[in-house]
Amino acid sequence: MSYRVRMEGWVFTPLSLAATGRWVMAAGKPSSKAKSAGKKSAAAPQAPPKSHAVGKKRRGKTAAAAHLRQTVIRNIAGRKRAEAALRKSAEKYRILFQTMAQGVVYQSADGKIISANPAAVRILGLTLDEMQGRTSIDLRWRAIHEDGSDFPGQTHPAMVALQTGREVRDVVMGVYNPRTESHVWININAVPRIEPGDDKPCQVYTTFDDITGRRRAEEEMRQVAALPLQNPNPVVAMSLEGQLLFANPAAVRTFPTLSAEGLRHCIMADWPSVADALRRRSPPLVRREVKVDGAWYLQVFFHAAELARVLVYLMDITDRRQAEEAAQKAQAELLEERQHEKEHAEAELARMRDRLVRATRLAAIGQVSASIAHDLRNPLGTVRNAAYYLERRLPKGQPEVAEYLAIINQEVAAADRIITNLLAVARAKEPVKQHVDLGQTIREALAGTRQAEAVRLRMSLAPEPFVVRADPDQLGQVFRNLVTNAVEAMDGGGEIVVEAAREADGDSIVLRDTGPGVAQEIRETVFEPLVTTKAKGIGLGLTICRQIIEQHGGSVELIDKDKPGAAFRIRLPRP
């Protein structure tokens, strides 16, 4: 069903409200009937002036429309700020993707490349257009293992991650670069992306470092190791059984306890596994990075069978490791910051949407309220005057008549309060903040509540007196509404506990009662208009509380939902 709410030159139309959760605003246009009526009125003689009551009614409508326009403008401005923050966060992520030294490639569930960053283009020697659509099984990659054997496409890290749903780390592969007409060596990490609720990856993203220069350096190491005495870096010769055969001067200076400790020395850790790998590998080469006394070394083990020994070559790579760690930390911090900014922006957008929808609903209620308030209060005033007349004219000593007259007065007062609440929604005023004594405000709220004689009040205020900056009338209305709800819920007596404290980001005020608590079915919507479980009342009290507190720059929420009684926390900013 499609419908519109029309107010003084604006039309609110809930287009696909169930899908979008938003109201769409469009400039209102007068109908053809209104146009023709306008023409007739121009030609007709002027009508006599309208009554003062009709003028008040029109002013009420105009005030409600003006308040709605201001509310909509504020919410749209807040939403634009949140969208700008989200764009800024996305730009940071884009810059990181475009400028990072690591290559990054995204592949779809069928293994096809869908995106790559400039580093990947540079390392692989292909343009993005040339890469897009390729899969790992494409023979043009000419992928090889470290020993020179073929690297089948189905065993590439990205394909394994897609098949298993698990990350694949630190796989070395040689890939043909058509620009340099040679193989480039890369160290690959593949991470699958699985959507919530799915059991299979929908994408895989692969990051890789160009280690061609490192492999070239290792090859040079093997050649230089043939002249250990002249080498400025530590060189050690071992037998496969783990016997120390030789250490050049650089090794003796760098590791003075090596001769005494032998295999117990940290650079010889896990020697049996190293020796076993050298026996099985072709070429017989093992490399690893080891930390000794705070310094990092690249350690290469090479089994020189013709010399019947294992040459161990070490190179200090502390500077490189520190630079890599700093870059990884910076990247992680940037990604974390981006995630936080994105979550914050999305949360702010959601709050703006909720406020806009809520403001639209309240404005619609307010417009109706403003238009009928005068028409309702006139007959209520007549009923009140008639009851007063009867009370004065009827003879005394008729308790039954007096009881019914009291009921009339009570119900008229209740109806008048409902109208007042409806008008408060429509005519929300900006707060005029002053210093307000919280304890006194709450005591006055309780004293003015019916049936409060059997209710105990206990306050814990730190410091005391607890003074806040707020509009005294509006804050008093908030606590009158909360205290009235608590007293009515604790039919027959109970206790109201108020706790207030200074916090780092403002003042926190918690009001609890010992009643039955908020019904399960309305806990999530308790602040929405027209939500109530009372036999009498229309469910605007908590809506007005939230409206007032938010106009003060604060928040109000239902807390401790699973505990007995109801508890509300109000947060107010401090100047």
Residue 503 CA: distances (Å) to CA of 500, 535, 571, 572: 10, 39, 9, 10
Q: What are the two backbone dihedrals, phi and then psi, of residue 224, each rounded to the nearest 5 degrees? A: -70, -30
Check whether 262 has a pLDDT greater than 80.
yes
Check whether 236 has a pLDDT greater than 70.
yes
Check whether 490 has a pLDDT greater than 90.
no
Superfamily of domain 103-210 in CATH is: PAS domain (3.30.450.20)
Residues contacting residue 162 through CB under 8 Å, at least 6 positions apart: 107, 109, 111, 192, 201, 204
| Residue of 457, 546, 466 whose CA lies nearest to 500 | 466
pLDDT grade for 361, boundaries at 50, 70 and 90: low
Q: What are the two backbone dihedrals, phi and then psi, of residue 244, each rounded to the nearest 5 degrees? A: -75, 120
pLDDT at 122: 92
Are 443 and 456 in contact by the 8 Å Cβ rule? The answer is no
DSSP per-residue letters across 460-488: EEESSS-EEEE-HHHHHHHHHHHHHHHHH
Check whether 470 has a pLDDT greater than 50.
yes
Euclidean distance between CA atoms 457 and 471, whole angstroms: 23
Least confident of 85-94, 107-116, 303-312, 332-341: 85-94
CATH T-level topology, domain 429-572: Heat Shock Protein 90 (3.30.565)
Check whether 62 has a pLDDT greater than 80.
no
pLDDT digits 0-9 by tens, 182-208: 999 999 999 999 988 888 999 999 999
Q: How many CB atoms lie within 10 A of CB 188?
A: 20
Are 538 and 530 in contact by the 8 Å Cβ rule? The answer is yes
The token duo for 175 is 């890939």
Euclidean distance between CA atoms 369 and 365, whole angstroms: 6
CATH code of the region 217-316: 3.30.450.20
pLDDT digits 0-9 by tens, 372-396: 666 677 788 888 888 888 888 888 7
Highest mean pLDDT among 167-176, 194-203, 419-428: 167-176
pLDDT grade for 32, boundaries at 50, 70 and 90: very low
- Exposure string over 285-312, b if 16+ CB within 10 A, otherwise e: bbbeeeebeeebbbbbbbbeeeeebbbb
pLDDT at 16: 36
pLDDT at 175: 95
Strand 182-193 to strand 168-177: parallel, antiparallel, or no bridges (unpaired)? antiparallel
